[in-house]
A and B are shown apart, each in its own frame.
Chain A
Amino acid sequence: MIETAHNQLEAEGQRKRRNALASFVVRLVKEKPLGTVGAIIVLLMLLTAIFANFIAPYHYADIHIKDPLLPPGGTYLLGTDSLGRDVFSRIIYGARLSLYVGLSATLINVILASLIGIPSGYIGGKYDLIVQRMVDALMSIPVLILLITIMSLVGSGVIQVIVVLGVVGSFGLSRLVRSATIAIRENVYFDAARAVGAPTWRVILRHALPNIMPILVITFSIGVAGAILAEASLSFLGVGIPPPYPSWGRMLSLEGRRYMYEAPWLAIWPGVALTTAIYGLNIFGDAVRDLLDPRLRGGAGRFSRATKKSKKAGKTRAEAIELVKIDE
């Protein structure tokens, strides 16, 4: 009896979750036409990445020594590069690599940013001051400069790129997490939790974390595009993904430059793929933010409301605007 009741509850819960997802999709399609386009691009990219083995006619590292620098058309849909590798296959596999690096690095970003930002915002005081000065120091080195420097020290490699992007990107994000935590810190349920004697780690884990979850989801969905672009930039400069991996950025790299005068198609397709992917992720991420952020719901008056609410948090106004800044 109890068993079935429990099962019923479980089923109920699952249905609710599914409904939430369904209603999210419905709202996306209804309210955000541009976001829907982004979602379709992201979905296509995801499918390409998963089924790359089936879509690509060749493996990304297959060298056809007799067919270098062939123009598009014929056996090789988008032509071949200087080693006779099929450009189309490399672009297809490139989607997998980009998403793999982008998603992993952004996941590390969000986790590390929470580890730095939530305690800093919740505990405050001297701890916050010290942590923030360290974040300031690391943030004042331009990201790309820091990334290039560190990559040249640790050496190129897929794992290296993921870890370095994941760690370096988390400092800036931790500020956002911190201000989100400060904004909710004064709520009474925190007092209640403290009053019943919950230790700090428990308050952070059970009360702060779930309440800033929407912000974390938003930063994740917006962050992926940036991580993919950063990977491409590093690989372009030759300090990111090493050969023979099919990084879009590497395919455009300076080393390949001399072949591009002979075979201009080498300069087009990886860039088209990269731009499409980032464009899709950008507008999809924007739409996710708009749909998940309660401050942005509703019609004409939404902007002023967002500003008013964040004023309570004092200095976080800048960050709040940062969140709201791109409306779509």
Chain B
Amino acid sequence: MRDYIIRRFLLMIPTIALIIIVVFLLLRFIPGDIVDLMAAQMGTASSGGEAVVSPEHIRHILGLDVPLPVQFGRWVSGIFTRGDFGNSLWTNKPVIDQILRRIPVTFELGLLAFILAVAIAIPVGIIAAIRQDSWLDYLTRSISILGMSIPGFWLATMVVIFPAVWWGWAPIFKVIPFSEDPLGNLKQFLIPAAILGFAMSGVTVRYLRTTLLEVLRQDYIRTAWAKGLQERVVVVRHALKNAFIPVITILFGQAFIMIGGVVIIETIFNLPGMGRLFIESIFRRDYPIVQSINFILASIGLLFILANDLSYAFLDPRIRYK
């Protein structure tokens, strides 16, 4: 087991190296006209109409005027020796500062969505499984497929538009810090998190139901029934324990997928998280930020994938990786 974990960590090294190369090369595909555009805008901004910043100058600032391997070396050594991801093209401030400032918002949104998803999915999944083929089962299953089918961005758009049209209610665009007003902060995050959590719970409910049905047909469950145990004990203590293993692992996968949803939801609700920074930077063509967010999210993604694989080995004693 220990060898397996060590090997997995070692295998992460080439993967991270590849991610760095992929992300780095993505930046090199910046179409040239963007540099020209930037030169024009930066020039006019700084000197009132007359362009003083030439495209060559911008290339020099970006470090794009030296050979590729040198650029690559600079970028990589910057990350690993100084934690320096480069500077923003527009503000010329370190990228990492902007990202660090925005991480708490994204983290809170993701965590809240995750908690909500689990809080919905587990009871609903259990009910759907132990009352298989009842109207309750059909209802919960239909709703969970609906949860998977409704695009989060549409649901979020409706939530922003209709209360505004009917009651003049609008989401607050300034983030209330949790330390100042915990309730106000939660109120602000609750709706976006619920929309994310709803989508996530759809998959989890169906997964939990399927695995629970599988477990409920095992012999040892029949034995538990035969002993005359109560339904609650059979389901919770005997069945659920085993059905949980695959469900926990799929939650990691879901958390990974949720990163994409977070980007969209933050943009719609104007939450100043990493996702919104990403979208803003995409439109401003601020590629150092885009590149860094890609790298950071990929590293988080890699950890989720690793956690997913390891949780299998930890939770299911039948699985032993060599």
Residues of A within 8 A of B (CB): 34, 133-134, 136-146, 148-150, 152-153, 155, 225, 229, 232-233, 236-239, 249, 252, 254, 257, 260-261, 264, 267-268, 270-271, 274-275, 278-279, 282-283, 300-301, 303-304, 307, 315, 317-318, 321, 324-328
Q: Which of A145, A153, A232, A301 contacts B297 (CB 8 A)?
A: A145
With both chains docked as a complex, state the minimum distance between the C-beta of A279 and any C-beta of chain B, in angstroms.
4
With both chains docked as a complex, state the minimum distance between the C-beta of B158 and any C-beta of chain A, in angstroms.
6
Does B244 touch A at the CB level, under 8 Å? no
Tally the A-B contacts, defined by beta carbons under 8 Å.
169
B26 pairs with A150, CB closer than 8 A: yes
B151 pairs with A301, CB closer than 8 A: no
Residues of B within 8 A of A (CB): 11, 14-16, 18-19, 22-23, 26, 29-31, 141-142, 145-146, 148-151, 153-154, 157-158, 160-162, 164-165, 203, 206-207, 209-211, 213-214, 217-218, 246, 249-250, 256-257, 259-261, 263-264, 267-268, 278-279, 282-283, 285, 290, 293-294, 297-299, 301-302, 305, 312, 319, 321
The residue in chain B whose Cβ has the minimal distance to the Cβ of A152 is: B282
The residue in chain A whose Cβ has the minimal distance to the Cβ of B12 is: A136
Return chain B residues, CB-CB under 8 Å to A239: 282
- Which 5 pairs show the lowest CB-CB distances between chains A and B? A144-B260, A137-B18, A303-B214, A271-B154, A279-B149
With both chains docked as a complex, state the minimum distance between the C-beta of B247 and any C-beta of chain A, in angstroms.
10
B282 pairs with A148, CB closer than 8 A: yes
Tell me the complex Cα distance, A254–B142, Å: 29
With both chains docked as a complex, state the minimum distance between the C-beta of A69 and any C-beta of chain B, in angstroms.
13
A229 pairs with B151, CB closer than 8 A: yes
Return chain A residues, CB-CB under 8 Å to B312: 318
Return chain A residues, CB-CB under 8 Å to B151: 229, 232-233, 236, 249, 271, 274-275, 278
B11 pairs with A133, CB closer than 8 A: yes
A140 pairs with B278, CB closer than 8 A: no
A271 pairs with B157, CB closer than 8 A: yes
A152 pairs with B285, CB closer than 8 A: yes
Q: Which of A137, A150, A225, A254 contacts B15 (CB 8 A)?
A: A137
Return chain A residues, CB-CB under 8 Å to B302: 136, 140
